[in-house]
């Protein structure tokens, strides 16, 4: 999967059946679905796969307990079915996760018990195990580190967790397995029109500046929080559909909650839920819901978001975490649906809307990781209709994704592990606090289209999201391996190391000065 060969493939393909803009969850899902149907498929991503929202989630594949409380039964039932499909199709990346809700008032225990019983009922044959009431003793055994004072018990239920960026990389590999092409660092700069219809895109290689005029029978706009920007390439007067919202997360050491059971705080002051999830040997805390008028490529958690998460977690943990305990902090922008095509206000939602413009651009707004496959199936159905492509059924419900193992596995490389271990540097760890090896970096470059230090330390390996300081310290050895693999000059190696250091500083929580 060397980039020059992939660009040659792009240059020599006269026309694609389906062209997808956006390399996040939705775009990659669309590319997999279209390629699996036998359509000649191309995906273009302006930066790296899952650079934006899709690497910054709460790491849950879930039906949505909060949505159940809002009465959105259909969304919950659909998400629970998709959870089951993902557990079967990517057992190396998606795993069952037990949750416990600590309860400090008997009334809450009763009400939550009723709600989670309904959650079990909606899961039906997709259930991962029944919810049950816990005594205070059982609750403390499940959640060592939870606050004891006033504890009257708890409620256990089941959902699933995953590694979001690794699932994105796996979907990209699956596109190739199915005969499609996916390219990162190749932003779309314009849409091509003829006789009032979209006939393709203009794109530019961010590394070389080479310009491509690409023909396609249909273009899918799956650019996430930047989907409105693509819609305005089609029609400059297109009204906004999205109302972005920021969700922040903090990562702390496991000794604050030394268990494989996740904690759910069912009611925060802003009306959300807060999770404390075992992930990557740490504990992930999140999330927030902060409206944003802008869509930066690198959103940063606000001070008030950091303080809110720490304060909320501190009310439930026997040892309250502080800013000094945060190993990494990050934020992602949710592509919430904000307005319809007439510009009227709609309820902010994680559900999705698919629309086709008069010129044939198929755009999707909204959505979430759990239902990415279901969304992609609907989007490709519409794309087939718009372009009058051969109508073929989706096959992704039973499609094992690249690297899928025969059963559950904790190795994100899955069946690719022997391939990685055969490369130079197997077992040579690049930092004492990280599991990343030299061989894994080489594998990411040769087989996973990694092009930069950030690609390795943020998404092929999750170092930046787990321990930002360790990632900063690992940047130089990673850059040295990339220089060897990609033929970088010494000057370029230093530049990319420095650029990563600057980026990673934003993942480090700063102390509040008096």
Give bridge partners of residue 20 from the DSSP assignment.
43, 220
All structural domains of the chain, each given as residue ranges with its CATH number in brackets, are: 3-53+166-241+337-398 (3.50.50.60), 95-161+243-334 (3.30.9.10), 414-505 (1.10.8.870)
**Parallel, antiparallel or unpaired: strands 282-286 and 290-291:** unpaired
Q: Report the distance separating Cα 314 and Cα 28, nearest Å.
A: 38
Q: pLDDT tens, position by position, for the chain (514 residues)? A: 899 999 999 999 999 999 999 999 999 999 999 999 999 999 999 999 999 999 999 999 999 887 777 788 888 999 999 999 999 999 999 999 999 999 999 988 888 899 999 999 999 999 999 999 999 999 999 999 999 999 999 999 999 999 999 999 999 999 999 999 999 999 999 999 999 999 999 999 999 999 999 999 999 999 999 999 999 999 999 999 999 999 999 999 999 999 999 999 988 877 788 999 999 999 999 999 999 999 999 999 999 999 999 999 999 999 999 999 999 999 999 999 885 444 322 234 558 899 999 999 999 999 899 999 999 999 999 999 999 999 999 999 999 999 999 999 999 999 999 999 999 999 999 999 999 999 999 999 999 999 999 999 999 999 999 999 999 999 999 999 999 999 999 999 999 999 999 999 999 998 875 4
Give bridge partners of residue 191 from the DSSP assignment.
201
Give the global pTM: 0.96
Q: Report the distance separating Cα 25 and Cα 376, nearest Å.
A: 9
Closest Cα partner for 356 from 342, 341, 335, 345? 341
Please enumerate, as own/partner, the contacts of 423-429 that have beta carbons within 8 Å and a separation of 24 or more. 425/481
Tokens 């959300």 label which residue? 272
Q: Report the distance separating Cα 394 and Cα 385, nearest Å.
A: 14
Q: Please, is 126 exposed, middle or buried when counting C-beta atoms within 10 Å of its C-beta (0-12, 13-18, 19+)?
A: middle
Burial 69-95 (b: 16+ CB within 10 A, else e): beebeebbbbbbbbbbbbbebbbbbbb
Sequence-separated (6 or more) residues with CB below 8 Å from residue 176 = 1, 182, 402
3 state DSSP class of 274: strand
Helices 73-89 and 106-123, axial angle in degrees (round to 10): 60
């Amino acid at each position: 999967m060397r980039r020059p060969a992939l660009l040659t493939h792009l240059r020599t393909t006269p026309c694609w059946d389906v062209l997808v803009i956006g390399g996040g969850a939705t775009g990659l899902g669309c590319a997999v679905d279209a390629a699996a149907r036998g359509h000649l498929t191309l995906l273009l991503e302006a930066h790296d796969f899952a650079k934006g929202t899709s690497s910054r989630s709460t790491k849950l594949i879930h039906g949505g307990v909060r949505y159940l409380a809002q009465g959105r039964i259909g969304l919950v039932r659909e998400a629970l079915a998709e959870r089951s499909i993902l557990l079967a199709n990517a057992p190396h990346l998606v795993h069952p996760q037990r949750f416990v809700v600590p309860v400090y008032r008997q009334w809450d225990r009763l009400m939550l018990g009723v709600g989670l019983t309904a959650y079990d009922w909606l899961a039906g044959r997709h259930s991962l195990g029944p919810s049950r009431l816990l005594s205070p003793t059982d609750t403390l055994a499940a959640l060592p580190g939870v606050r004891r004072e006033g504890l009257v018990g708890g409620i256990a239920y089941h959902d699933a967790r995953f590694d979001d960026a690794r699932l994105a990389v796996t979907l990209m590999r699956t596109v190739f397995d199915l005969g499609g092409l996916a390219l990162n660092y190749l932003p779309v700069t314009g849409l091509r029109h003829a006789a009032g219809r979209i006939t393709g895109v203009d794109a530019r290689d961010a590394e070389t500046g080479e310009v491509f005029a690409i023909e396609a029978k249909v273009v899918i706009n799956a650019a996430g929080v930047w989907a409105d920007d693509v819609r305005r390439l089609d029609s400059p007067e297109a009204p906004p559909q999205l109302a972005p919202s920021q969700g922040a997360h903090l990562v702390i050491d496991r000794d604050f909650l030394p268990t494989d059971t996740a904690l759910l705080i069912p009611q925060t002051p802003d009306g959300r839920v807060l999770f404390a999830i075992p992930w990557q040997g740490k504990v992930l805390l999140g999330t927030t819901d902060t409206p944003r008028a802008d869509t930066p490529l690198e959103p940063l958690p606000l001070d008030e978001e950091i303080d809110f998460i720490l304060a909320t977690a501190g009310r439930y943990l026997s040892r309250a975490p502080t800013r000094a305990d945060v190993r990494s902090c990050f934020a992602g922008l949710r592509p919430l649906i904000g307005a319809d095509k007439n510009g009227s206000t709609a309820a902010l939602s994680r559900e999705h809307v698919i629309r086709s413009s008069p010129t044939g651009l198929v755009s999707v707004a909204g959505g979430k990781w759990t239902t990415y496959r279901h969304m992609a199936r609907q989007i490709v159905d519409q794309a087939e209709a718009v372009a009058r492509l051969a109508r073929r059924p989706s096959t992704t419900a039973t499609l094992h994704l690249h690297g899928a193992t025969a059963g559950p596995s904790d190795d994100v490389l899955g069946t690719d592990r022997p391939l990685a271990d055969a490369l130079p540097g197997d077992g040579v760890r690049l930092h004492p606090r990280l599991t990343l090896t030299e061989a894994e970096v080489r594998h990411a470059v040769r087989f996973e289209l990694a092009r930069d230090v950030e690609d390795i330390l943020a998404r092929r390996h999750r170092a930046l999201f787990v321990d930002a300081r360790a990632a900063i310290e690992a940047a130089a050895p990673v850059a040295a391996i990339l220089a060897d693999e990609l033929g970088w000059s010494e000057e370029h190696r230093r530049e990319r190391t420095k650029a990563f250091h600057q980026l990673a500083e934003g993942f480090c929580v700063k102390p509040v000065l008096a």
